[in-house]
């Protein structure tokens, strides 16, 4: 399973080749944060990794109410472009999603997260 993850071409473009590593290093130096997000396909179990621009899309960090240094969720807000099938025209759609921190185990029935996780900061 891990080998399939590492050999997946779309994952390799984020983590595996030298250009990706140089881009990640530059982003880390510029923004001091890297947001890796894992998307799991529930039917196949395959995982895709992507990055999120931290200051452009991370709206807020929701922390443990008793310890502000313990992040629980990251609220991501972004605009995606979809095709309106009636008109054939592209339309902008505002979206929001909560991503749990990789060290936090949300309780059953917690915030809906759609199989996404933030890793590292």
- Give the DSSP per-residue string, the chain: -HHHHHH-HHHIIIIISHHHHHHHHHHHHHHS--EEEEEE-TTT--EEEEEE-HHHHEEEEEEETTEEEEEEEEEEEEEEEEE-TTT--EEEEEEEEEEEBTT--PPTT-S--TTEEEE--
Closest CA to 98 of 112, 110, 108: 112
Contact criterion met (CB below 8 Å) for 73 and 50:
no
Does the structure show a pLDDT above 70 at 117? no
Does the structure show a pLDDT above 90 at 87? yes
Q: What is the pLDDT of residues 48-72, one digit of tens each?
A: 888 887 778 889 999 999 999 999 9
pTM: 0.66
Domain coordinates in residue numbering, the chain:
2-119
């Amino acid at each position: 399973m891990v080998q399939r993850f590492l050999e997946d071409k779309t994952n390799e473009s984020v983590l595996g080749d030298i250009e990706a590593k140089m881009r990640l290093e530059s982003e880390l130096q510029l923004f001091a944060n890297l947001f890796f997000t894992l998307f799991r396909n529930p039917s196949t179990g395959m995982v895709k990794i992507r990055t999120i621009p931290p200051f452009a899309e991370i709206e807020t960090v929701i922390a443990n109410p008793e310890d502000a240094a313990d992040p629980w969720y990251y609220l991501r807000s972004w605009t995606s472009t979809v095709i309106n099938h009636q008109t054939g025209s592209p339309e902008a759609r505002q979206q929001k999603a909560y991503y749990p921190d990789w060290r936090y185990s949300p309780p059953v029935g917690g915030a809906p997260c759609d199989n996404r996780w933030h890793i590292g900061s």
